[in-house]
Amino acid sequence: MAVTMRDVAQHAGVSQRTVSNVVTGSVPVRPETRAKVEASIRALGYRTFAPARQLRQGRTSTVALALPSLTEPYFAELAQCVIDRAAGDDLRVLVVTTRSRRENELAILGGDQVFADGVIMSSVALTPEDSSSRHPTFPVVLIGDRGLGEKVAHVGPDNRLAVHDAVQHLIGLGRHRIALLGAHNGPALTCELRTAGYVDALDEAGIDVDPALMISSGWNFDAGLQATLGALERVPAVDAIFAMNDSAAIGAMKAIARTGRSVPDDVAVAGFDNMSEGARSTPGLTSVGPLPDEVAAAALRELRAQLDGDAQPARYLLPHRLVERGSTTGERS
């Protein structure tokens, strides 16, 4: 049977309230009385219930991480990075999914069923109107493209510039029939920004945007595979593909191989997210964007500042990097 606070009180010859004051530190206790209680705690092997103690102290040492889903490898990898990073700050992470639904994202921002000191959320469904009506009363960091104005911290990449740099890389390799895989799909704002980066790079190089190369596709492996198979049949002379994310890009590489073409000799492929899965693919996937661990570190750093009361919420644009691998360079990873 577990040792209770009452057992400790009887053993030490003090009241249960005195034991509680020693355990929680909420009320000063005379040194000799504290020593007596602590001796009884050690003798009986009493263990406090950490969550209850933390609640009394006003902290849970828990961070809620709200993601659209965990079926997409990028979000699964991001979740693990947040968990690993948070452990270094003695924080636990509660992962919840929003299924990309606005009502779920708003509920989390409103504090509904969020038992945590703060929230990190990858928002994909908030609207501009939410910026004027939703201001959480607890520490929140939004990651990705959707923000809530100056009063809510926001960490995300410069999608437009990152995609511009990736497509510019493909053009620099002599590719001029570059398909955009995942056009007209995915989170609306993210799709808009990444499409704009694609168009910017083509315009800069004097290459006309061909609507036939704007390939509609979901942002996952299976959708990327099927869409690429269809595109290679109906669109002539595709010599490169930029996919809206790494999962679709890996699907595209599979499709290219199925048609008897090679990557990158016939079709070069690049993606977005810098997932570790892309580095392990064959050939290794060229990708752009901040590393998932960099996103996790920045979000937790901003959340910790709010928890400590040291900073006002801020917007932070994460630097991106283009990691060139075999899917565009032909070199083995």
Residue pLDDT, tens place only, 19-49: 888 876 667 888 899 899 989 988 888 865 4
Q: Cis omega (within 30 of 0) on the bond before 236?
A: no
pLDDT band at residue 53 using 50, 70 and 90 as cut-offs: very low
**240-243/286-289 β-pairing:** unpaired
Q: What is the pLDDT of residues 66-89, one digit of tens each?
A: 999 999 999 999 999 999 999 988
pLDDT at residue 133 in the model: 66
Number of domains in the chain: 3
Task: Choose from 98-102, 106-110, 178-182 the range with maximum mean pLDDT.
Answer: 178-182
Which residue bears the tokens 């869409």?
227
Q: What is the pLDDT of residues 208-263, one digit of tens each?
A: 999 999 999 999 999 999 999 999 999 989 999 999 999 999 999 999 999 999 99
Q: What is the pLDDT of residues 144-156, one digit of tens each?
A: 888 777 778 999 9
**Are 134 and 174 found together in one domain?**
no
Token representation of residue 214? 């704007």
**Are 152 and 298 found together in one domain?**
yes
> What is d(CA 314, CA 151) in angstroms, rounded to the nearest whole number?
8
Q: Report, as an integer, the average pLDDT of 277-296.
A: 96
**Are 50 and 135 found together in one domain?**
no
Task: Report residue 151 CA to chain centroid gap.
Answer: 20
> What is d(CA 213, CA 26) in angstroms, rounded to the nearest whole number?
66
* pLDDT for 201 beyond 70: yes
Q: State the CATH number of the domain containing residue 48.
A: 1.10.260.40
**Are 112 and 171 found together in one domain?**
no
**Are 181 and 279 found together in one domain?**
yes
What length does the chain have?
333
Q: What is the pLDDT of residues 157-177, one digit of tens each?
A: 999 999 999 999 999 999 999
Domain containing 251: what range? Answer: 159-290+322-329
**Are 194 and 273 found together in one domain?**
yes
pLDDT at residue 316 in the model: 86
3-state secondary structure the chain: CCCCHHHHHHHHCCCHHHHHHHHHCCCCCCHHHHHHHHHHHHHHCCCCCHHHHHHHCCCCCEEEEEECCCCCHHHHHHHHHHHHHHHCCCCEEEEEECCCCHHHHHHHHCCCCCCCCEEEEECCCCCCCHHHHCCCCCCEEEECCCCCCCCCEEEEECHHHHHHHHHHHHHHCCCCCEEEEEECCCCHHHHHHHHHHHHHHHHHCCCCCCHHHEEECCCCHHHHHHHHHHHHHHCCCCCEEEECCHHHHHHHHHHHHHCCCCCCCCCEEEEECCCHHHHHCCCCCEEEECCHHHHHHHHHHHHHHHHCCCCCCCEEEECCEEECCHHHHCCCC
**Are 177 and 151 found together in one domain?**
no
**Are 281 and 168 found together in one domain?**
yes
pLDDT at residue 30 in the model: 87
* pLDDT for 55 beyond 70: no
**Dihedral class, residue 174 (left if φ above 0, else alpha if ψ from -120 to 50, else beta):** left
Could you tell me which residue, 268 or 38, shows the higher pLDDT? 268
pLDDT at residue 327 in the model: 98
**321-323/286-289 β-pairing:** antiparallel
Q: What is the pLDDT of residues 112-150, one digit of tens each?
A: 667 788 999 999 888 878 876 666 778 999 998 887 777
Token representation of residue 50? 């950490």
**Are 185 and 272 found together in one domain?**
yes
* pLDDT for 59 beyond 70: no
**Are 176 and 215 found together in one domain?**
yes
Q: State the CATH number of the domain containing residue 117.
A: 3.40.50.2300
**Are 19 and 71 found together in one domain?**
no
Mean pLDDT for the chain overall: 89
> Taking Cα atoms as reference points, which of 242, 199, 176 lies closest to residue 253?
242
> What is d(CA 8, CA 36) in angstroms, rounded to the nearest whole number?
10
The amino acid at 188: A
**Are 149 and 297 found together in one domain?**
yes
